[in-house]
Amino acid sequence: MANNIKILTEHINTPGIETFEVYRKTGGYNAVEKAIKKMSPDEIVEEVKKSGIRGRGGAGFPMGMKWSFLAKPEGVPRYLVCNADESEPGTFKDHYLMKSIPHLLIEGMIVSSYALGANKSFIYVRGELMYVVRILEKAIEEAKAAGFLGKNILGSGYDLELVVQPGGGAYICGEETALLESLEGKRGNPRNKPPFPAVKGLYQSPTVVNNVESIANTPWVINHGGDEYAKIGIGRSTGTKLISASGHIKNPGVYEITLGLPVDEFMNSDQYLGGVRDGHYLKAVVAGGSSVPILPAHLFYKTANGEDRLMSYESLSDGGFPTGTMLGSGGFIAMDETTCIVRNTWNFSRFYHHESCGQCSPCREGTGWMEKVLHRIEHGHGTMSDIDLLVDVSKKIEGNTICPLGDAAAWPVASAIRHFRDEFEWHIKHPNEATKPGAVFMGAEILA
C-alpha cells in the first residue's frame, strides 16, 4: 500500500501553482488530453468505478455508481454540478483546495463533464467566498485561452462551458437538491426525493452533483487508472482524504491523509496534528464536521471492541451510533478538557436552528426547540427532565425530515447526551457554578 501519497496536494506549495503555466508544467491538464484524445466517456466512468472513490461531501456515496445512475434520455442535456458550498462548521478543505490550486478543480470538471456528457457545468461556490469565485473565474479564462475549455476542446469536437455561481451564503444550499433550486434562481429549499438528481436535477434534466474534493480526484484517476487508485487506502475506503483539523491541537490546518491512517498517529505525530496543546489532554472529538456524533477521547482512539481506530469510513463508524461516529466531510474538531460540552452542543444547535430551511415541521420547529432548551441549560435554568426531552425531540426529528439536515441537527445533541450526560446533569444541578465563565465539569473536580 502506497502510504503518504499526495493526490491533491502534491504540488500545492509550488510557487505560482494557481497560474495555468506553472500548473501545466507540473503535469496539469494531462488528464484532459488523455481523456479527450484517448478515452471514451464510458471508459472514464469505468475507471472511476474501479477506483472505488467515495463522495467527499459527507455521505460517502460511491462516485462511480452515482455516475452510472445518470439517466441518458435522448435530446435532453445533462449537467455536472460541483458542490463548493462548504459550510459545515469544522470543514474548510474545499476552500483551501480551490484558492490554492484552482486548476485542479477545473481540470477535474473538464474530465468529469466529458465523462458524463455534459456541455455546461457549474461550480456552486459558497457566497462568503467571493475571492475564490474570482480565482476560479481567472483559472477558467486561462484554461479557455489554452484551448482546454470552451468550444471544440483540443480539436475533439467536445464543447464545455464552465460557470461559477456564488451562492447566497446558506448552509442548506449545500444539500444537493437545495443547491439545484438555488442554481435555478429559486429559494434554496431541498426537494422531495425521488426523483433524484440523476433523473431530474438541474432544470429537470439528469444531473450529477459532486463535491469539490471528489471531482479534484478524477484527473489522478485518469492519469494513473482506477486500479492504481484503489490500491491506496484501506478496504472500501480508497484513496486519500482531506481533513481540515481545528480545535485544541498543536498544528491545525488541512491535511491530505491516506485513508486507513491510524487515528493515534494522525492525532499525535508531529507530521500531522502534533497532539493536544501542551499541558492539556483530549476530552472529545468531532471527527467529520459538526453533524457527526461527538466521541469522547477513549472511544475515539479505540472502538468499543478495543481495536485501534483508523481514519477510514468503516473504522470511524464502527460501533454505529452508540459508540461510533462518521468520517463525514472530514471536518476534524479536537476538544481538550477546557471545553464545556453543553456549551459546545448549544453552539452547534444554534447553527442548525439558524440554517434550517423551515420546510418540514420536525426540523423547522425541532431545531429551534432544542436550541432553546440547550440555551436554558447552559444558562443555569435547566431541569432534569430537559435532558430526556432533548433526547426525545432529537429522536422525533431524526429520519422524519425531507433532507438530512434534520439528522445533522439531531445527532450532535443525541450523541453529546449519550456520552456526556453527567455534564448536562451537573449543569442542571449546580447552575451557579456552571454559569461561571469558563466553568467546565470534569468528574470529581470542576474547572473554573
Ligand X SMILES: Cc1cc2nc3c(=O)[nH]c(=O)nc-3n(C[C@H](O)[C@H](O)[C@H](O)COP(=O)(O)O)c2cc1C
- Is 139 in a helix, a strand, or coil? helix
Query: H helices within 62-217, ranges in order?
Result: 63-68, 93-100, 102-116, 130-145, 176-183, 212-216
Query: Could you say whether residue 218 binds ligand X (CB under 6 A)?
Result: no
Which residue is listed with cell 502534491?
A: 10
Q: Residue 163: left if φ>0, alpha if ψ -120 to 50, beta else—which one?
A: beta
Residues that bind ligand SF4 (CB under 6 A): 172, 190, 356-360, 363-364, 401-403, 405-406
Contact between 357 and another protein per CB under 8 A: yes
In 279-312, which positions are buried (b, 16+ CB within 10 angstroms) versus exposed (e)? eeebbbbbbbbbbbbbbbbebbbbbeeeeebbbb
From the centroid of its chain, how far is CA 300? Answer: 19
Least Cα distance to 297 among 312, 305, 287 occurs for 287
Q: Which is nearer to ligand SF4, 7 or 292 (CB)?
A: 292
At residue 349's C-alpha, the angle toward residues 390 and 343, to 5°, is: 85
Q: Which does 61 bind (CB under 5 to 8 A by kind): ligand SF4, ligand X, another protein, none?
A: ligand X
From the CB of 441, what's the least distance to ligand X, in Å? 31
With binding defined as CB under 8 A, does residue 77 bind another protein? no
Residue 369 interacts with which of ligand SF4, ligand X, another protein, none, CB < 5 to 8 Å by class: another protein
Among 9, 87, 315, 323, binds ligand X (CB under 6 A): 87
Q: Does 58 bind ligand X (CB under 6 A)?
A: yes
Q: How far is the CB of 146 from ligand X (least distance, A)?
A: 27
Spatial neighbors of 154 by CB under 8 A, at least 6 apart, are 32, 33, 36, 37, 147, 148
Buried-exposed string 103-123: b where 16+ CB fall within 10 A, e elsewhere: bbbbbbbbbbbbbbbbeebbb
CA angle 199, 117, 123 (to 5 degrees): 80
Q: DSSP code of 295?
A: E
Taking CA atoms, 380 is separated from 69, 341, 374, 393, in Å, by: 52, 14, 10, 20
Interacting residue with ligand X among 70, 104, 132, 172 (CB under 6 A): 172
Grid coordinates of 118: 455534459
Task: Considering only the stretches 49-57, 270-278, 320-328, 391-399, report the one whose residues sit in contact with ligand X under the rule CB under 6 A.
Answer: 49-57
**Please, which residue, 48 or 370, has the CB nearer to another protein?**
370
Does position 320 bind another protein by CB under 8 A? no
209 binds, among another protein, ligand SF4, ligand X, none (CB under 5 to 8 A by kind): ligand X
Chosen residue from 166, 331, 362, 412 binding another protein by CB under 8 A: 362
Q: Which position among 267, 294, 310, 403 is part of the footprint of ligand X (CB under 6 A)?
A: 403
Minimal distance in Å, beta carbon 289 to ligand SF4? 16
Which of another protein, ligand X, ligand SF4, none is residue 83 near (CB under 5 to 8 Å by kind)? ligand X
Report, in Å, the least distance between residue 188 CB and ligand SF4: 9
Q: Does 411 bind another protein (CB under 8 A)?
A: no
Binding region for another protein (CB under 8 A) out of 35-43, 201-209, 237-245, 358-366: 358-366
Residue 367 binds to another protein (criterion: CB under 8 A): yes
* Interaction partner, residue 100 (ligand X, another protein, ligand SF4, none; CB < 5-8 Å by kind): none
Distance of closest approach, residue 2 Cβ to ligand X, in angstroms: 23
Among 16, 76, 399, 447, binds another protein (CB under 8 A): 399
CA dihedral 308, 310, 315, 318 (to 10 degrees): 40
Q: Is 214 in the site for ligand X (CB under 6 A)?
A: yes
CA 200 to chain centre: 24
Name the residue nearer to ligand SF4 (CB basis): 297 or 374.
Answer: 374
Q: Would you count residue 223 as binding another protein (CB under 8 A)?
A: no
The bridge status of strand 331-336 relative to strand 310-311 is unpaired
192 binds another protein (CB under 8 A): yes
Q: Which is nearer to another protein, 16 or 358 (CB)?
A: 358
61 binding ligand X? (CB under 6 A): yes
8-state DSSP, 190: P
The 3-state DSSP class for residue 135 equals: helix
Residue numbers of the site for another protein (CB under 8 A)?
A: 170, 172, 187, 192, 194, 353-362, 364-369, 372-373, 376, 389, 393, 396-397, 399-402
